[in-house]
Structure 1
Amino acid sequence: MKYLMWLLNAAIFFVLFAFALNNQSAITVNLFFGAQWQVPLVLALFTALLLGVCLGVFVMLPLWLRARNPRKPAAKAPKKAAAESTSTALDTSAASSPTL
């Protein structure tokens, strides 16, 4: 299994490397206010990918941190009391039912 993952990673690397070698032609990226950026196509694509990943992490970070932090103790108390009342209700109903 370890070798299969290594082979998969190597195949992905070589495909991306071949893509980069085939897209070395220079392009002009027109920015705001008339600014231009002369860059190889593969670098422009990599930059766009990197910006998209950073934006996605930035947007998801508050949700990840909220899910990672433990809940407040006050929020646990009602759940614990409800669980105890349910278990005591089950115990009393089991004790009151006749057995054959």
Structure 2
Amino acid sequence: MRYLVWILRLIIFVVVLLFALKNTQPVDVSFFADHVIAGVPLIVVMLATFVLGALLGLLITAPAVMRRRREAAKLRRELARLEEKHRRPPAAQEPASAPETVAPLAPL
């Protein structure tokens, strides 16, 4: 299975590399307020867009991931506490006595 994953990674890498080599022509990048950067290779623009999108996606998912990690840590602590409680032998308790032995019932 490990070899299959590495073969798939290699195929994806080759496809992305060929795509990058085919898209090297220069393009003009226009920003707000008529600011233009001329002659930037298209692959650089696509790579920058990909990286910015990945960072934005990570920022959006970060709160949910942190929440899940806190919940998992809380559950692990609770599990450890319950396991410790289960391992500890119960304290010697007096045998429960019937109510009649404590105070005899009065006849009605």
Q: TM-score, normalised by structure 2?
A: 0.62
* Cα offset, 1:15, TM superposition: 0.3
For the pair 1:68 / 2:69, whether they are aligned, the reply is yes
Q: How many correspondences in the alignment?
A: 74
1:42-81 matched pairs, under 5 angstroms: 42-70=43-71
| Corresponding residue SS for 1:27 | strand
Q: Deviations over 1:12-57 (max 9, x none)?
A: 0100000000000000010011111231111111111111110111
Q: For structure 1, which runs of at least 5 residues remain unmatched after alignment?
A: 77-100
By percentage of residues, which structure has more helix? 1
Larger radius of gyration: 2
Q: TM-score, normalised by structure 1?
A: 0.66
Distance in 2, matches of 1:62 and 1:22, equals 38
Residue identity (%): 34
CA RMSD of aligned residues (A): 2.0
For the pair 1:10 / 2:10, whether they are aligned, the reply is yes
Task: State the 4+ residue runs in structure 1 displaced beyond 4 angstroms.
Answer: none
- AA aligned to 2:56 is L
| Corresponding residue SS for 1:69 | helix
